Amino acid sequence: MFFRNKRSVLLLISLLSTLLLSACGSNTNNTPSGGETSPAPSAAPTASPASERTLTDSLGNEVTIPANPQRIIASYLEDYLVALGVTPVAQWTVKNGKQEYLQDSLKDIPTIPYDLPFEDVTKFEPDLLIIGSNATVEGEKYGQYSKIAPTYVLGDAVVNDWRKALLQIGEVLDKQAEAQKVLDDYEKKAADAKADIQAKLPGQSVAAVWLVKNSFYVVSDKQSSGALLYGNLGFTAPAIVKEISATGTGNWNSISLEKLAQLDADHLILVNSDKDSGAKALEDPIWKSVKAVKNGNVYEYPRTSSWLYYGPIASSKMIDDVMNDIVNK
C-alpha cells in the first residue's frame, strides 16, 4: 500500500487521477514499499495526566497525542484505522475515486484530497493528523500542519512496511493490544493459507500484472502484493518477475508485451483498470500467447479491488481472492 520515494508517489497520483476521471479507486506505473529499518522509537508516555501522551515521531518531533482523539485524518492510512476499529473524519481521495475496498466501513465518510491542502484539513477540524511519508511534510509543511492539529509522522521506513505501520499507529492511538491482535490474526491466516497452497499447488508459480491506460505493469517480487504472493503464501516468483524487480524502482514496474510473452507463470493475476474503456491490449495476439492465458489460468480483478493496495485489510482480502479463485476453484 505504500511507495518508496516521492517520485513514485507523484507517478502514482498522476496515473490514478487520470484513470479515475476516465473510468468514473486504486497503486501506479513505475512505483505501493518494504523498508527494512526499524521504526523510530517512541518516547515513553510522560507523567502528565492520563488525558494525553507525548510521543516522538520519526522526524524527532515531540507530539502531544490526545487521550481519545475523535477527529482523525490519516490520509492513505485508512486501512489501518478501519482494522483498529477507528473511523477517520475524512478519507483519502484522488479526483473522483477513493479506496473502494474499504467502503463498507467508510461509505459515509467525506473525502479529502490526497495532497492534504491546508484549507481542507482545517475545515475538518481534526484533533490528530497521522502522516505517512516524509515527503508529505517536507519544507515548511510540518509546521503548518502542526498548527492545525497534533501531527505525527510515521516516516518512510515505517510506512513502507505495513506491519510496522500497523503497530506504530496502534501505539499512537493507544491501541497496542488491538494492533497486535490484528497482526497475529493475519499471520495465522497467511500461514494457514500457505500450508494449503503448498499441499494443493506445490511449486506453482504466479505473477500479478496490472493493465492501466493500455500499458502493463508487473508487481515487484518483494513489494506490495508481490511480498504477499511470494513471501507470505510461498508461491514461486517467475524469472521475468525477478529480472524486472531487480532493476525496477517501485511496487509495480513496466513490462512490455514482448516480455510478457516470456512470462512462464502457472497462474496470472490481472488487475484490469482498462475494463471500462475496452481493455484493447487484451486482444493483442502476444497477450494471448502468454502461458497462463493460453492455459486459462488468468484471474481478473477490477481496479476497485484491494490488489493495488497494501495493509492488513487489503492483504487479507488478497488472501481470500487467492484461496477462492486459484487454490479452491
**Per-residue model confidence as pLDDT tens digits over 189-230:** 999 999 999 999 999 999 999 999 999 999 999 999 999 999
Residues 176 and 195 in one domain: no
Residues 207 and 314 in one domain: yes
Residues 154 and 250 in one domain: no
The predicted pLDDT at position 96 comes to 67
Residues 171 and 40 in one domain: yes
The predicted pLDDT at position 275 comes to 93
List the CATH number of the domain containing 42.
Answer: 3.40.50.1980
Residues 78 and 149 in one domain: yes
Q: Establish if 2 belongs to a structural domain.
A: no
The predicted pLDDT at position 19 comes to 38
Domain boundary among 158, 182, 206: 182
Residues 131 and 196 in one domain: no
> pLDDT, tens digit, for every residue of 138-152?
999 999 999 999 999
Residues 275 and 166 in one domain: no
Q: Establish if 27 belongs to a structural domain.
A: no
Number of domains in the chain: 2
- Secondary structure, 3-state, the chain: CCCCCHHHHHHHHHHHHHHHHHHCCCCCCCCCCCCCCCCCCCCCCCCCCCCEEEEECCCCCEEEEECCCCCEECCCCHHHHHHCCCCCCCEEEECCECCHHHHHHHCCCCEEECCCCHHHHHHCCCCEEEECCHHHHCCCHHHHHHHHCCEEECCHHHHCCHHHHHHHHHHHCCCHHHHHHHHHHHHHHHHHHHHHHHHHCCCCEEEEEEEECCEEEEECCCCHHHHHHHHHCCCECCHHHHHHHHHCCCCEEECCHHHHCCCCCCEEEEEECCHHHCCHHHHCHHHHCCHHHHCCCEEEEECCCHHHCCCHHHHHHHHHHHHHHHHCC
Low-confidence ranges of the chain (pLDDT < 50): 1-50
The predicted pLDDT at position 43 comes to 45
Q: Establish if 223 belongs to a structural domain.
A: yes
Residues 199 and 170 in one domain: no
The predicted pLDDT at position 51 comes to 76
Domain boundary among 140, 156, 182: 182
Residues 44 and 177 in one domain: yes
Domain boundary among 167, 182, 197: 182
Q: Establish if 124 belongs to a structural domain.
A: yes
Q: Establish if 274 belongs to a structural domain.
A: yes
Residues 199 and 147 in one domain: no
Residues 43 and 172 in one domain: yes
Q: Establish if 69 belongs to a structural domain.
A: yes
Range of the domain at 289: 188-327
The predicted pLDDT at position 88 comes to 98
The predicted pLDDT at position 249 comes to 86
